[in-house]
Structure 1
Amino acid sequence: MELDAVADGRPATASEATPTPTGVVRVEKVRGRSAVTRCFAKYPLKIIVPSKVGPASSGAVWLYILTYGGGIVSGDKISCAVTVGDGCTAAMTTQASTKVYKAVGSKCSEQVLEATVGKDALLAVIPDPVTCFSTARYYQKQVFHVSGDSNLVIVDWFTSGRYESGEKWDFNSYKSVNHILLEEYQPLFIDSVLLEQGSNCTIAERMQEYNVVAMVVLLGPKLKHIQDEMQDEVKKMMSVQLRPPTSGGGRYAARPQPLHPQRPPLVASCSPFGRTGTGMVARIVAVSTESVYTFLRHRLAALEPFLGVAPYSSS
């Protein structure tokens, strides 16, 4: 299948032609419902569009992003362009963690997503985590173009590797970049995470006992109540976990506390962004992958009416 458009949907001209993406998806209203009107993918990318996920009344389109061989091979370059039309709802997810295999020489595995979210539309990018194998090199960039009343959910997270097998923070480099642009060009949210092995300090030494790093972005009027609930719950959770120990006088005084108290198994924080606080970003570090799945499952359960199924409900 030949592609005849660039990422923003306009016909390509000789002066602006770009390399053909490995995947293109367009979601538009058809008879009043969200529907996939274009779907293209080529090796090493595969896109599955199930006919039904959850009750039909939700009207959401689900896209499963996969790679042949169950992971990203050293040197693979994957790029995907997604357009969610006005008033449409779409969810992008994976069937398992994205495995990034060992690097061959200095080759880097790359994934790029460019998405446009229309007016009153909702796009939820809710994958499983990225897991980099020993010596892997990985680069990811996601760019989202939104309007003033677009709605967007981004979950971007990664693990230390196959840590249950003793492989902890043993990859060479990991970089993830997320940009949200309002009305095409105005930066609304810019974020970058970079981990590299250093000559003086390894990634494992910097990360201590933590094995998972996650970021959740919520943007748009439809998600305001979810933002408020998540901020309240995170504040309550962390106020309990980080509360300093109290001690009283007398014979029942508390025992002396250790100089280096044990760190909480999961640490989270929330911050608003945007001129009027229309967006919110939550950041999480945790000892175990399952604890982050639990966090996401509980805090994103309110998306079920929009998507038909609560994110990570089968994890």
Structure 2
Amino acid sequence: MTQFSVEKRHQAKGKGCVVVESFQECQQENEFSKANVTSLINSYPLKLMIPSHASENNSIWVYPVTFGGGLVGGDGIEMTFHVKPHCCAVITGQESTKVYHCEDALTTKQTTRGTVEDHALLCVMSDPVVCYRNSTFSQKQDFQMTSEGSLVYLDWVIGGRAALNELWQLTSYENRTDVYIDGELVYRDNFILQDTPTVSMVTAMKNMQVLGSCIIIGKQMETIATKLNTRFGMKKSIGEKYDQEIVVSVSPLRYSVAMETVPGVYIRFMTVSSSKAYKSVVSVIAEELRTLIGGNPFEGKY
């Protein structure tokens, strides 16, 4: 029985789909309509939970949960989110996603697809992925949005369990993100973390435990993007010391698609701990979004 359960768990292919739409008109500018989930599909080992009162406004919050609290080698998770006009959907989590050690060298895969229509916002702000020793994880994100839609995608990974002295001893971590506006590819980020013949991840990452990035794009995000670009791009005063426990880089984004200009910002960071990542970067982003999405999905966790 135990052997059967392990084999079954290794081959689990979970799928989930959520459609968010509204049947009401916006009452005020810069606000979203009361959103409803009109379609919800999920299969083992994935479950999509949608609490009734997670948000303080009209946004829908979705919590993907996996059986056992994490993913093992060979698992494949596919999630699709469709946010219709004038709606806001927040994809977040209850805790970090664990990618467990795999003795069979199987790759754990996760795919997220999002469609964002006019005057809508898709905000993907999950807790970090924790890659255990000898784990292999590959994730892909594909976002299709209109020039009137908006997107926030936060990705951060912790290189293992520090208490067990396994930081950055994963086999491989691959992450690819594509963003399309009106069908045109405007953004692609693709990177792989793994040892090379000349340098190991342990050596390269030194004392850094967390690696993350965030893209914020869309006309509704212009003010927030400008604030974050100013905050993280601020130069140090003469004589002011740099914080050795964090590295942050920021780049403003501005795309022209079919005579439409779409603004945004891209942030990448490394820190010595998840609490440092939250306090210095993630909480700053979350608090700027609080009014729009109806709360801070990480509040009280870090």
| TM range, smaller chain | 0.7 to 0.9
Counterpart contact for 2:157–2:211, Cα < 8 Å: yes
Structure 2 CA distance for aligned equivalents of residues 178 and 46 of structure 1:
23
Deviation at 1:105, TM superposition (A): 2.1
Counterpart contact for 1:90–1:124, Cα < 8 Å: yes
Deviation at 1:207, TM superposition (A): 0.9
Deviation at 1:244, TM superposition (A): 6.2
Counterpart of 1:227 (choices 220, 225, 228) is 225
Structure 1 CA distance for aligned equivalents of residues 149 and 18 of structure 2:
18
Deviation at 1:231, TM superposition (A): 1.2
Deviation at 1:306, TM superposition (A): 1.4
Q: Is 1:212 paired with 2:210? A: yes
Residue type of the partner of 1:81? T
Deviation at 1:156, TM superposition (A): 0.6
Deviation at 1:277, TM superposition (A): 6.1
Counterpart contact for 1:176–1:193, Cα < 8 Å: yes
Structure 2 CA distance for aligned equivalents of residues 21 and 38 of structure 1:
17
Relative distance call for 1:21 and 1:161 in structure 2 (3 A) is closer
Q: Is 1:23 paired with 2:16? A: yes
Relative distance call for 1:148 and 1:245 in structure 2 (3 A) is closer
Residue type of the partner of 2:113? E
**Mapping 1:130-149, distance limit 5 Å:** 130-149=129-148
Deviation at 1:85, TM superposition (A): 0.4
- The TM-score, its normalising length taken from structure 2, stands at 0.86
- How many aligned residue pairs are there? 275
Counterpart of 2:248 (choices 260, 265, 268) is 268
Structure 1 CA distance for aligned equivalents of residues 167 and 239 of structure 2:
30
Partner of 1:180: 179
Structure 1 CA distance for aligned equivalents of residues 283 and 133 of structure 2:
29
Relative distance call for 1:120 and 1:245 in structure 2 (3 A) is closer
Counterpart contact for 1:303–1:311, Cα < 8 Å: no
Partner of 2:149: 150
Farther off after superposition, 206-215 or 25-34: 25-34
Residue type of the partner of 1:128? D
Deviation at 1:52, TM superposition (A): 1.1
Report SS of the residue matched to 1:301: helix
Q: Is 1:281 paired with 2:266? A: yes
Structure 2 CA distance for aligned equivalents of residues 244 and 75 of structure 1:
51
Partner of 2:65: 66
Report SS of the residue matched to 1:283: strand
Report SS of the residue matched to 1:214: strand
Structure 1 CA distance for aligned equivalents of residues 83 and 72 of structure 2:
29
Runs of 4+ in 1 over 3 A off after TM superposition: 243-246
Q: Per-residue CA shift, 1:86-109, capped at 9, x if unaligned?
A: 111000001111100012322100
Deviation at 1:310, TM superposition (A): 2.3
- If you compute each CA radius of gyration, which structure gives the higher value, 1 or 2? 1
Partner of 2:119: 120
Deviation at 1:311, TM superposition (A): 3.6
Structure 1 CA distance for aligned equivalents of residues 148 and 24 of structure 2:
22
- Give me the identity figure in percent: 28
Report SS of the residue matched to 2:22: strand
Relative distance call for 1:121 and 1:245 in structure 2 (3 A) is closer
Relative distance call for 1:30 and 1:80 in structure 2 (3 A) is same
Residue type of the partner of 2:276? S
Relative distance call for 1:245 and 1:25 in structure 2 (3 A) is closer
Partner of 2:298: 312
Counterpart of 1:201 (choices 199, 202, 220) is 199
Residue type of the partner of 2:52? S
Deviation at 1:293, TM superposition (A): 1.0
Structure 1: gaps (5+ residues) = 1-19, 247-261
- The TM-score, its normalising length taken from structure 1, stands at 0.83
Counterpart contact for 2:217–2:262, Cα < 8 Å: no
Structure 2: gaps (5+ residues) = 1-12, 26-33
Structure 1 CA distance for aligned equivalents of residues 164 and 177 of structure 2:
30
Q: Per-residue CA shift, 1:57-86, capped at 9, x if unaligned?
A: x20000001100000011001111110001
Deviation at 1:44, TM superposition (A): 1.1
Please tell me the root mean square deviation across aligned C-alpha atoms, in Å.
1.9
Structure 2 CA distance for aligned equivalents of residues 107 and 277 of structure 1:
40
Q: Kindly indicate which of the two structures has a greater share of residues assigned to strand.
A: 2
Partner of 2:94: 95
Structure 2 CA distance for aligned equivalents of residues 183 and 299 of structure 1:
26
Counterpart contact for 1:75–1:110, Cα < 8 Å: yes
Farther off after superposition, 290-299 or 170-179: 290-299
Partner of 1:52: 53
Farther off after superposition, 301-310 or 283-292: 301-310
Deviation at 1:200, TM superposition (A): 2.4
Counterpart contact for 1:301–1:311, Cα < 8 Å: no
Counterpart contact for 1:297–1:311, Cα < 8 Å: no
Residue type of the partner of 1:102? H
Q: Is 1:161 paired with 2:160? A: yes
